[in-house]
Amino acid sequence: MIKKQLLQSNEKVSLGRPTLANSKDIKTELTKIAMELVQTRGYNGFSYQDLAERLNIRKASIHYYFPAKEDLGAGLMEVGLDRVHDWHEKLRSQKLTPTEMMEAYFDYYSELSEDATKICPCGALASEWQNLPQKVQEAYTNMLNCHSEFMESVIEAGRQSGEFSSKGTAQEQAQFVLAAIMGGLQTSRAQGNPALFGLLIHQLWTMLKK
């Protein structure tokens, strides 16, 4: 305990106050770090204490922003949903072809896979799903559905443009692509071999492309 206190005071910047006391948005910072922790350790795998240490504040202060941990969890999923939603809007506004949109998806997750410590937010909560507070479950499902719907629309568009193969329904393929990405991030992390995710993406293309 003494050790920790020393460590903290060493880490402080020259001002006597925590680095982030001046930040406009500690809540944003909390969200960011919490998301990282969720992706590396899962929902039950991190505590307010972990967050407090990373931000150099006391854990009681976090309750000011997120009264209960389920508020934080649901908040994370809502931020995730917004981000996914905005991303989809951006891809659409760029008038990308279905192939390019799919590439954007694959690129994003390939990059994630290279950090062999993280998985995607959906996968991160998946195995604990049954334990999650209801608020978190609901927000989680919303985010997952958002991915599903977008993916299905991209695949549908790719079929109409003749870029994608029409084997199986678009819904089937969408379900499939998302499950493979989610599972692939998990298996490649556990096998300590990010390259395995690359193989998986390659195979996904083989399936999708005409």
Partner DNA sequence: GTCTATAGCGGGATAGAC
Partner DNA sequence: GTCTATCCCGCTATAGAC
Point out which residues bind DNA (CB under 7 A).
Answer: 18, 20-21, 26, 46-50, 56-61, 63-65, 67-70
**Shortest distance in whole angstroms from residue 64 CB to DNA:** 4
Strand runs (DSSP E) across 108-159, as ranges? none
Q: Does 49 sit near its own copies (CB under 8 A)?
A: no
CB 95 within 8 A of CB 104: no
Interface segment toward its own copies; rule CB under 8 A; list 7-15, 48-56, 66-74, 140-148: 140-148
Closer to DNA by Cβ: residue 41 or 85: 41
Per partner kind, with CB cut-offs from 5 to 8 A, the member of its own copies, DNA, none near residue 123 is: its own copies
Cα(66)–Cα(85) distance, rounded to whole angstroms? 23
End-to-end CA distance of the chain: 61
Q: Does 134 sit near its own copies (CB under 8 A)?
A: no
Q: Which of 144, 151, 154, 155 binds its own copies (CB under 8 A)?
A: 144
Nearest to 208 by CA among 157, 169, 166, 149: 166
Q: Which residues pair with 164 in a beta bridge?
A: 209
Provide the CB-side half-sphere exposure for 123 (13 A, CA): 23
CB 37 within 8 A of CB 51: yes
Q: Which residues pair with 209 in a beta bridge?
A: 164
Q: Does 187 sit near its own copies (CB under 8 A)?
A: yes
Q: Which residues bind its own copies (CB under 8 A)?
A: 40-42, 44-45, 117, 119, 122-131, 137, 140-141, 144-145, 148, 167-169, 171-173, 175-176, 178-184, 186-187, 189-192, 196, 199-200, 202-204, 206-207
